A and B are shown apart, each in its own frame.
Chain A
Amino acid sequence: MLRYIAIILFFVAVNSCNNQASTPSDSKTNYASSAVISENDSMLKIPVIEQRMAIIKEALSQEIPVLLLNNADSIQSVAQDVALKDEQFRTNILDPKSKQPFLNEIFNVYNARPQEIPKGYDNKNVYRVEMYNYALNLTTVALVDISSKKIISVNNYPQSQPDININLTDLALQIAVNSPDVIKALGFKPGEKDALMAATKTSLNRTKCERSMHLCVAPTFIKDDKALWAIVDLTDLKLVGVRWTNVGKPETAERISERKLLFDKIMECNCKQVKSIDKIGWKMNYVITSSDGLRISEVYFKNKLIINNAKLVDWHVNYSGTDGFGYSDAVGCPEYSQAAVVAVSEPKISELAEGGGFVLEQSFKSEQWPMACNYNYVQRYEFYTDGRFRVSAASLGRGCGNNGTYRPVSRISFAGNQNNFSEWKSADWQNWNIEQWRLQDAQTIYTPEGYQYKITDATGNGFFVEPGNGQFKDGGRGDNAYVYITKLHADKDEGETDLVTIGPCCNTDYKQGPEKFIEPKPENIQNSQLVFWYVAQLRNDDTKGREYCWAERYLENGVYKTHTYPCFSGPMFIPVNK
């Protein structure tokens, strides 16, 4: 009976991590796991957003490309007009480099507070004009004397946001009430009146998007004794996600922000909990690790164990312009982890466009990417209906310079204890007797199919290894990879559990870390359990039209978007069927 209950509880816990918000059934439910990170990157197709986009485009085409205060009275109109004629107030209206307009909007115009009014001015004539720059997350405030129609002062406040006005409040509400994630969580489509709309900062405004540095608000819906926070990004006009909280006293109420929503959900559902896939003959478990990226384990194809586990141990980034300069980054969980670049989304499973199969993908992103010295890495496992699989990784830039070489260190622990490893030499397969490494370079000889290695069991079944040579139609230009084969030991851990950083940033030779398990005395690896290490070497490029391992920001409708130029690497494993 107890076992039966335990199974049901486990099932409920797993289900609550499915990124499909529903009303938590009791107050003990972990609200972090029932939170939803919105997966929809595009805007909702609802009239208010279409109208908003039309207004933005119209405003950006004007000589002074600023969204004016809607329904301004005559005094407010005068004040904003005076402010916008001032050169200093308009300093951040255009991107100084491209001269393209940033999206700026007058949020509020109101009688200045007594403590703000300089000596010699009549209180009733001094107005405060607040303008927000969405692209730079910057507030510009002007004090205007409407009697003389002159500017008194202008101040910029970087990384700050004014109180939002009623129009933006309505817009946030419309996005929230029309979002499928909100409707699903509540179990019905809420009306606008269901959100807590007090004009104080303690309700709608009490949230921030700390990572994106966008303007975010949180319409909150009460259901029974719980509150559903819907975090709305007013810069990108989309829902960030939803999360339930208990309704408590205001002073103890929990504030949900972008970072809290993302991190708590990922920690609870993807770092603490192992998930499973059972698709097209493939079965496996997967989890985000503390420092080895997304780890797959117990990988079966047609009920045969293929891989004990596979993971991404490190990213080594070396800049050739400066001797010894670079980083050795681990990727992994967002909190309580040894990761330098962290997961900010959940693993995604999608169908492969070609070849019939599916992809399991995880991205890891620095907070200010694509700004300089920030990184974005993608880990991708591909599984095909015919038994092929690929373990790949990409950098999406941008790093600290255009002279960087990325070296992702992947580790695959193959199942079976009677394995052998061989390399294609001219016309035949040559067996490796001891642990060693090899570099894929211009002299490398491949089979006619493009295979370089073969790993087989006692029956002769196994996999050919086809390294990246730019043939995988993912933009990859070849891996120039180091391959290492080491023996798997039952009595000592050489990376089966989470590995701390395995090697330094800036070695340009084979010393990327796995050699530690080979040298000084390579072991015999014939008829053994084997570990396959793959270290691609990817040189970035920022040349126009040739970008690689790179990212560029550009302005679209006055806010920043990002072009990415990933450099995918990684070998394909093709079944050897005897």
Chain B
Amino acid sequence: MRRFSYIALVLLSSCFAGCEEKIDMDEVYQIGIVPCQRQPQFFGTTGLNIKRSALSTSEKRTKGLVLVQFPENNTDTAGRKTWQHLSWSSFGFMGSITTDENGNVYTIPVPVVNMLDNPVEKQNTIYKVESTTGEMKPFAVLPVNITAETTNPFGLLGIYYDCSAKQLYTCTVAGSTKQKENGIIFAVDATTGKITDKLLGKDAVALCVCGITGEKRLYIGSAVSSDIYSIKLTKAGKFSGNVQKDISLDMLGPRGDDKARRIRFDKNGDMMVYAVEFNYNLTAPTEKQESLYRFRYADEDKKWNFIK
């Protein structure tokens, strides 16, 4: 009987491995490099020049999301304009922004300087801005385990939309302490808002999906160290295999202990890491200076090398 169970288990697991839907290699190499996101439809109704406008959550003295029209050139002082939907400042200060292929925007709350506008209980909610109307609403409330020892002020820290699987990836550090990294990276179905997978024990700020190495992988910029990790993803966007360390920013740049805030890939597949100081506190953003680090993947030795 025990032997039968064992055989069944083997068959089942081999089916899981064997039944996993394969991704076309040409498609894999495009992931994260060829942009798939669309501009939100409501941009056209704002009266701003949409060709030089972008969404921001870091406008000084502006709470929440804001659409910024950038000046045409340095002398165009009147060219800088902003536009805000009434709902965009209702949920406190916001952090990362990501957009899907229909122009829907997803963002997460991140406190700035203090917690007055970002209460702890609202820190684990993903907010969605409808492409057509521009209205912002709570989209998914993610479960967290906050203990009495938790003193860090953050919940969700990064968010990224992967068009290939229509999944949102985000990470909460709400349960993390100096002694224990309790972060959870969630894969969330962008259609339903349901959690499709979880990766436990990693605090991340930067998240990005890319296939440049020949594998569709989620790149994870650690919030605890200067390391960048990655984990393989299935075609459906679930986590597969083990987390591996790919890159360290240790001793790079002016500070030498930067944490990756944002990871993106350029059209050549080079990884661009935008990194800042991060120590799980609410140090004023005016202090924070960002550095850009570029890495290139070397197929021959399967390593990411620092370019500049």
Residues of A bordering B, CB below 8 Å: 137, 158-160, 201, 206-208, 210, 213, 255, 257, 259-260, 263, 267, 272, 290, 325, 327-330, 333-342, 366-368, 373-375, 400, 498, 500-501, 504
A367–B280 touching, CB < 8 Å: no
Tell me if B251 and A208 are in contact (CB < 8 A): yes
State whether B281 touches A373 (Cβ < 8 A).
Answer: no
CB of B300 to closest CB in A, whole Å: 20
**How many angstroms from the CA of A137 to the CA of B251 in the assembled complex?**
16
Q: Is the interface of B mostly helix, strand, loop or mixed?
A: loop
| Cβ contacts A to B, 22 pairs, < 8 Å | A158-B254, A201-B251, A257-B257, A259-B257, A259-B279, A267-B178, A327-B113, A327-B114, A330-B114, A333-B151, A335-B178, A335-B281, A336-B151, A336-B280, A336-B281, A338-B281, A341-B284, A342-B279, A368-B287, A375-B284, A400-B286, A500-B116
* A213 contacts B254, C-beta separation under 8 Å: yes
Residues of B within 8 A of A327 (CB): 113-114, 284
Task: Establish whether residues B152 and A339, one from each chain, have CB atoms under 8 Å apart when the complex forms.
Answer: no
Interface check B197, CB cutoff 8 A: no
B280 touches A337 (CB 8 A): yes
Q: For chain B residues 255-308, which have a beta carbon within 8 Å of chain A?
A: 255-257, 277, 279-284, 286-287
Contacts of B176 in A (CB 8 A): 336
Tell me if B250 is interfacial: C-beta within 8 Å of chain A: yes
A287–chain B nearest beta-carbon distance, Å: 12
Partner of B284, one of A207, A213, A373: A373
Given known pairs A337-B152, A338-B153, A374-B287, the reply for A160 and B281 (CB within 8 Å) is no
Assembly CA distance A375 to B284 (angstroms): 10
- Chain A residues, CB < 8 A from B10: none
Closest chain A residue, CB of each to CB of B280: A336
Residues of A within 8 A of B165 (CB): none
Q: When the two chains form their complex, are residues B251 and A210 in contact, meaning their CB atoms are under 8 A apart? A: no
Question: Which residues from chain B sit less than 8 Å from chain A, CB to CB?
Answer: 61, 113-116, 120, 151-153, 176-178, 250-251, 253-257, 277, 279-284, 286-287
B156 to chain A, nearest CB (A): 16
How many whole Å from A210's CB to the nearest CB in chain B?
Answer: 4
Note all chain A residues with C-beta closer than 8 A to B284.
327, 329, 340-341, 366, 373-375
Pair B114/A329 contact, Cβ less than 8 Å? yes
Inter-chain contact A504/B116, CB cutoff 8 Å:
yes
CB-based nearest B residue for A161: B254
Residue of B with least CB distance to A337: B281
| Chain A residue at minimum C-beta to C-beta distance from B176 | A336
CA A236 to CA B9, docked complex, whole Å: 66
Are A500 and B257 in contact, CB atoms less than 8 angstroms apart?
no
Q: Which of the residues B115, B254, B257, B279 comes within 8 Å of A160, measured between beta carbons? A: B254
Using CB atoms, name the residue of chain A closest to B149. A336
Residues of A with C-beta under 8 A to B279: 259, 263, 334-335, 342
Residues of chain B within 8 A of A255, CB atoms compared: 250-251
A340 CA to B111 CA in the complex, in Å?
11
Do B254 and A366 touch (CB < 8 A)? no
Number of A-B residue pairs having CB atoms within 8 Å of each other in the complex: 105
Nearest A residue (CB) for B177: A336
Report the bound CA distance from A366 to B282 in whole Å.
11
Given A210-B256, A210-B257, 9 other A-B residues pairs in contact with their CB atoms under 8 A: A201-B251, A213-B254, A255-B250, A328-B113, A340-B114, A368-B287, A374-B286, A498-B151, A500-B114
Q: Are B256 and A257 in contact (CB under 8 A)?
A: yes
> What residue in chain B is nearest A325 (Cβ atoms)?
B61
Q: How far is the CB of A137 from chain B (nearest CB, A)?
A: 8
Chain A residues near B257 (CB, 8 Å)? 208, 210, 257, 259-260
C-alpha spacing A543/B286, complex, angstroms: 25
Measured CB to CB, the closest approach of chain B to A142, in angstroms, equals 20
> Cβ of A257: which chain B residues have Cβ within 8 Å of it?
256-257
User: Closest Cβ of chain B: how far from A501's Cβ, in Å?
Assistant: 4
Interface contact A290-B256, CB-CB below 8 Å? no
Closest residue to A339 on the B side, CB-wise?
A: B281
**B281 x A328 contact (CB < 8 A):** no
- Quote the shortest CB–CB distance from B287 to chain A (angstroms): 5
| Residue of B whose beta carbon sits closest to that of A498 | B151
In Å, the complex CA distance between A368 and B255 comes to: 12
- What's the Cα separation between A339 and B283 when bound, in Å? 7
Asked if residues B256 and A337 are in contact (CB atoms below 8 Å), the reply is: no
Which residue of chain A lies nearest to B288 when distances are taken between CB atoms in the complex? A367
Q: How far is the CB of B303 from chain A (nearest CB, A)?
A: 14
Name the one of A210, A340, A374 contacting B281, with C-beta atoms under 8 angstroms: A340
A-B pairs, top 8 by smallest CB distance, nearest first, are: A159-B254, A501-B114, A208-B256, A290-B151, A336-B152, A210-B255, A373-B286, A338-B153
Q: For the complex, what is the distance from the CA of A52 to the CA of B153, rounded to whole Å?
A: 46
Of B61, B114, B116, B256, most buried by chain A (CB within 10 Å of CB) is B114
Asked if residues B277 and A210 are in contact (CB atoms below 8 Å), the reply is yes
Complex CA distance for A329 and B282, rounded to whole angstroms: 9
Q: Given contacts A255-B250, A257-B257, is CB(A338)–CB(B114) below 8 Å?
A: yes
Closest B residue to A368 by CB, please name it: B287
Chain B residues, CB < 8 A from A335:
178, 279-281
Closest to A332 in B: B281
Complex Cα spacing A342 to B177, Å: 17
- Taking CB atoms, residues of chain B closer than 8 Å to A201 are 251
Chain B residue at smallest Cβ distance from A137: B254
Least distance between A254 CB and chain B CB atoms (Å): 10
| Nearest-Cβ distance from residue A264 to partner chain B, whole angstroms | 9
Whether A366 contacts B283 in the complex (CB less than 8 A), given A213-B254, A337-B151, A337-B152, comes out as yes
Interchain nearest-CB distance for B209 vs A (Å) = 28
Once the chains are docked, how many angstroms separate the CA of A138 from the CA of B116?
Answer: 39
| Complex: A333 Cα to B283 Cα, angstroms | 11
Q: A257-B257, A368-B287 are in contact. Are A334 and B114 (CB under 8 A)?
A: no
Interchain CB contact (< 8 A) of B287 among A206, A263, A336, A366: A366
A330, B282: Cβ atoms closer than 8 Å: yes
Instruction: Tell me, rounded to whole Å, the shortest Cβ–Cβ distance linking B100 to chain A.
Output: 33
A539 and B298 alpha carbons, distance in the complex (Å):
58
Closest chain B residue, CB of each to CB of A202 = B251
In the bound complex, residues from chain B placing their C-beta under 8 Å from that of A373 are 284, 286-287
User: Which residue of B116, B255, B286 is within 8 Å of A208 (Cβ)?
Assistant: B255
| B283 engages A342 (CB within 8 Å) | yes
Determine how close the nearest CB of chain A comes to the CB of B125; give it in whole angstroms: 18
Chain A residues with Cβ below 8 Å from B251 are 201, 206, 208, 255
Does A339 lie within 8 Å of B282, measured CB to CB?
yes
Q: How far is the CB of B280 from chain A (nearest CB, A)?
A: 4
Residue of B nearest to A502 (CB): B116
Which of A210, A263, A337, A340 is B113 in contact with, Cβ under 8 Å?
A: A340
Please name all residues of chain A whose beta carbon is closer than 8 Å to the beta carbon of B282 when the two chains form the complex: 330, 337-340
Question: Shortest CB–CB separation between residue B260 and chain A, in angstroms?
Answer: 16
Closest to A158 in B: B254
Contact B283 A500 (CB under 8 A): no
Query: How close is B271's CB to chain A, nearest CB, in angstroms?
Result: 21
The CA of A255 and the CA of B116, in the complex, are separated in Å by 36
A206–B248 CA distance with the chains assembled, in angstroms: 14
- A263 vs B257: C-alpha distance in the bound complex, in angstroms? 13
Name, among A158, A340, A366, A500, the residue most crowded by chain B CB atoms within 10 Å (CB to CB).
Answer: A340
Q: Which residues of chain B come closer than 8 Å to A207, judged between CB atoms?
A: 256
In Å, the complex CA distance between A123 and B295 comes to: 29
The interface residues of chain B lying within 8 Å CB-to-CB of A338 are: 114-115, 151, 153, 281-282
Tell whether, in the assembled complex, residue A337 and residue B153 are in contact, meaning their CB atoms are under 8 Å apart. Answer: yes
From B115, B250, B254, A501 is in contact (CB under 8 Å) with: B115
Residue of A nearest to B254 (CB): A159
Residues in A with CB closer than 8 Å to B254 are 137, 158-160, 213
Contacts of A137 in B (CB 8 A): 254
